[in-house]
Chains A and B, each alone.
Chain A
């Protein structure tokens, strides 16, 4: 169970990343954020976001056109 959940469905680039960044700002180090998105581009974008910001991407899944990501705040 993630500490916070972000519904980014229907949003297009770069909004899922920007909303995720904002949501991470409200979390403590070590807490997790689950993101649900429908933008197929978000798969690579969240990998890049994690690599660049140091927040760990614990999970990245796709099911029925929805993408879920689990980020752990660094």
Chain B
């Protein structure tokens, strides 16, 4: 049986949206797929050596439950409905939400992003940084992890054209 292939475009640079590409890439690799992830626009944040700056923003994100990762069960169950207008004016609101989210991730036995990315690297998932976005945003490639490639749309399409699964995230 020919080896299956999966091509992903990772275009978002937040803590929550870092999960889908790394979960699917690491799992597909474990299932024997050959995997390429093309990181473009804000997705390039996911290639930085230091992932501590990834944040989750509840602002303008009505689908995000806002629950506390500590306290008794009834307290954890409360969904804090904080209006956007209030979130927007509280300094550090995103940082606070990110700290709480990271605690929830830990509590629930969900892998951290550095761990998932490490598993992708171990499984030889090919990671491609979009050269155009690097230039556009003037990103410092010294901040990126080692072993990544640089390319453009044609690079992605060459592999995607032969892939069994192609996803945009």
Which residues of B in the span 23-53 have a Cβ within 8 Å of any Cβ on A? 23, 26-27, 30-32
A21 touches B23 (CB 8 A): no
Q: How many residues of A contact B (CB 8 A)?
A: 14
Contact residues of B: prevailing secondary structure? loop
Contact residues of A: prevailing secondary structure? helix
Q: How many residues of B contact A (CB 8 A)?
A: 11
Output the least CB separation between B151 and chain A (Å). 27
For residue A39, which residues in chain B have a CB less than 8 angstroms away from its CB?
109
Which residues of B in the span 85-139 have a Cβ within 8 Å of any Cβ on A? 108-111, 119
A63: Cβ under 8 A from any B Cβ: no
User: Interface on A for B, CB 8 Å cutoff?
Assistant: 10-15, 17-18, 21, 39, 48-49, 52-53
User: Interface on B for A, CB 8 Å cutoff?
Assistant: 23, 26-27, 30-32, 108-111, 119
Known A-B contacts: A48-B31, A49-B30. Give 8 more (CB < 8 A).
A10-B109, A11-B109, A13-B23, A13-B110, A14-B26, A14-B27, A17-B30, A18-B26
